[in-house]
Structure 1
Amino acid sequence: MSASQTGAEVRLIGIGKRYGKVTAVKPLDLTIEGGTLVTLLGPSGCGKTTLLRMIAGLEQPTEGRLLIGDEDMTLLSAGERNVSMVFQSYALFPHMSVLDNVAYGLVSSGLRRRDAQEKAEAALETVGLKGFGARLPSELSGGQQQRVAVARALVLQPRVLLFDEPLSNLDARLRRSMREEIRALQQRLGLTVVYVTHDQSEALAVSDRIVVMRNAEIAQAGTPEELYAQPESVFVATFMGEANHLRGTIERVENGMASVALDALRFALPARGLPPGPVDVVARPEAIRLAAEGAEGMAGRITRATYMGSHAEYVVSTPLGELFVIAPRQRTLLPKGSAVAVMLDVEGVVIVRP
């Protein structure tokens, strides 16, 4: 496998999919730059897997066009697209050796067996499985089987590599190491990768850009940092990690900054085009600070306290409702029932549309 491999740009132009009267994907536009990893993120039934399968050629769009590079692939079959897909189930042949599993696609396309196996050996080395070729899939761990599935996709030198919930069958620790391996491989080979998951932390860890989907359409697309720090809606904010949804009031707007009232608290926040009046506010749990009763801030009372090793988690009852708070590790956990003063760091607070 050479490091010179460069992925192709993928462009979806007004692409949509209906099954009878059911709309699986509303017509949408999306450009995936060559050599980047873009994640389609969203809850079950939002359309992300249907979109992935349309890129793969496993589903035909009802409308719109699909371009890979400069070529219109809309009507081409999966086999004509030079796109490889890694499935959630890995789909390895249990009776074949690891080497034969990886070489299968090449042999099927007419390459001589010896040449196919040489390429398969190189692909296995690329994913860190040199010397595993003679084993059966049943003799491998879940993480190793995942790597075999990736090698089988890579050996075809695809212009686009697709992942459908690839880590959902692995335990938490293995998921973390595998997502790091997939990201490192993508960057080293310059692959274009489209990656489907419903796991926010996975999306944040691997992506150049994230496309958050809801109700068969794109809710917001951007870098991980943009989506976490500047969500455009309550849905995106709460889907991109823990978030407290508060109701406040914009008292006035000057020079693009809004004076926002949250009970006794006052903030100057970017207005984001919103006028004075009631407003939805999102506060990240790590942006909430607790101090002793009587300190500056809003009065609150701890209703739940949980020691998490590296940090503490609290639920605090306030005039704004219950707030979920993540606090740095302290020597002693604040006990349930403690009266506290609550303050918010502006950096973790943002105005959003409902």
Structure 2
Amino acid sequence: MTLPLKLSGAEVRLNGIGKRYGQVTAVKPLDLVIEGGTLVTLLGPSGCGKTTLLRMIAGLEQATDGRLFIGGKDVTLLPAGERNVSMVFQSYALFPHMSVLDNVAYGLVSSGFKKRDAHAKAESALETVGLKGFGTRLPSEMSGGQQQRVAVARALVLEPEVLLFDEPLSNLDARLRRSMREEIRALQQRLGLTVVYVTHDQAEALAVSDKIVVMRNAEIAQAGTPEELYTQPASVFVATFMGEANHVRAAVESIDGPTATVVLGGERLALPHRGTKPGPVDLVIRPEAIRISDSGQLSARVSRATYMGSHTEYYFSIAAGELFAVGADRLKRRAPGEQVMLALDPEGVVLVQP
């Protein structure tokens, strides 16, 4: 007999939360609300503070500033074991000498559950992650993806209000990472869990998140939905960190309604102004927004063309520099040295005022 898991997602509220190590600031005081039942990703380069922030939510690090609330309860001073939060570590941290079932049940047994009840809940958790019948195996007899699921089951069996992931897929190969991130997302949505997910992989963040918090230099650079961050980045850093992007300097010459006349390398382009004013701007152009077109506004020369099977990767030389583009015209590839005209899809071009 298995005992059903009782799971619900709680709101996580950070009010002025910060962390210092002596004179070093790991996380500058910040405010953040993570709504119950959503998956929020902390994304950023190494050393930006995302893992420290995750560990403060877990109770593994003590905040030096601010207050932390989970489900409306102030947990700022509570130790990790009293926060009803579970964490899935990058290394999985499974006990090699224990069976999978004992690994999953370990936290319950340690907290005083009878072994029979703990095993019943562990069986339910394994079934939840698609590993029913695997309880007698040792971790060494499981694949990397299966071990990752065992680590998730061990976290779920404690029936946490918040589930934390610290770079959970970094030890897996690219194909397995893709399938596992979809499984984590599906599990989160099915169970209504509140999940805080740390990664430095932009594609991973885009694929699983309700909301992404991009961090840089120990603070939040921008927070929003995946679509908002990709199409409406607030800075060049966010734009270039959220996937491939070309970055060139340009100038807004004039504004007419929603359209800006932008001068790029001596050529004029009509683009959505997105709140910018006349003067110097940073022009961020997504590779997929660049098309070869006889009616294009931008003259260019093909400097490189690489066949990639489903598409062609181009490098174009323009007066303002070089542009990287992804073209679907694999059956009609342009040759290096060829002069072409380029059109820019407005939805893939962002003007950012310095």
Q: TM bucket by the smaller chain?
A: over 0.9
Q: How many residues align?
A: 351
Match of 1:265 among 243, 264, 268: 268
1:252 aligned counterpart, secondary structure: strand
1:47 equivalent in alignment to 2:49: yes
Report the TM-score when normalising by structure 2. 0.96
Q: Output the CA distance in 2 between the equivalents of 1:84 and 1:270.
A: 45
State the one-letter code of the partner of 1:242.
E
What runs of 5+ residues in structure 1 fail to find an aligned partner?
Answer: none
Judge conservation of contact 2:41–2:213 (CA < 8 Å) in 1.
Answer: yes
Q: Please, what TM-score do these two structures have when normalized by structure 1? A: 0.96
Q: Structure 1 stretch 258-267 or stretch 62-71: which is displaced more?
A: 258-267
Distance 1:264 1:184, change over 3 A: same
What is the distance in 2 between the residues matched to 1:260 and 1:300?
Answer: 17
Q: Quick one: structure 1 residues 289 and 93, their matched pair in 2 at CA, closer, same or farther if it must change by over 3 Å?
A: same
The alpha-carbon deviation at position 337 of structure 1 amounts to 1.9
> Is residue 232 from structure 1 mapped to residue 228 from structure 2 by the alignment?
no
Q: Does the CA-based 8 Å contact 1:232-1:353 persist in structure 2?
A: no
Match of 2:134 in 1: 132
CA–CA separation in structure 2 for the residues paired with 1:244 and 1:20 = 39
Residue 261 of structure 1 and its aligned partner are, at CA, apart by 2.5
The DSSP-based 3-state class of the residue aligned with 2:37 is coil
**How does 1:1-354 map onto structure 2 within 5 Å?**
5-255=7-257, 257-262=259-264, 263-272=266-275, 274-291=276-293, 296-354=296-354
SS in 1 for 2:19: strand
Deviation at 1:257, TM superposition (A): 4.3
Structure 2: 5+ residue stretches without partners: none
Deviation (angstroms), 1:268: 3.4
Q: Conserved in 2, the CA contact under 8 Å of 1:309 and 1:329?
A: no
Distance in 1 (CA, whole Å) between partners of 2:72 and 2:344 is 49
Task: Write the distance in 2 (CA, Å) between the matches of 1:198 and 1:335.
Answer: 36
Q: Which runs of 4+ in 1 moved over 6 A?
A: none
Are the aligned partners of 2:309 and 2:330 in contact in 1 as well (CA < 8 Å)? no
Whether the 8 Å CA contact 1:53–1:59 is kept in 2: the answer is: yes
Per-residue CA deviations over 1:196-242 (Å, capped at 9, x if unaligned) read: 00000000000000000000000000000000000010000000000
CA distance in 2, matches of 1:353, 1:188: 41
- Could you tell me whether the CA contact under 8 Å between 1:120 and 1:155 is conserved in 2? yes
Take 1:188 and 1:329, find their aligned partners in 2: how far apart are those partners?
40
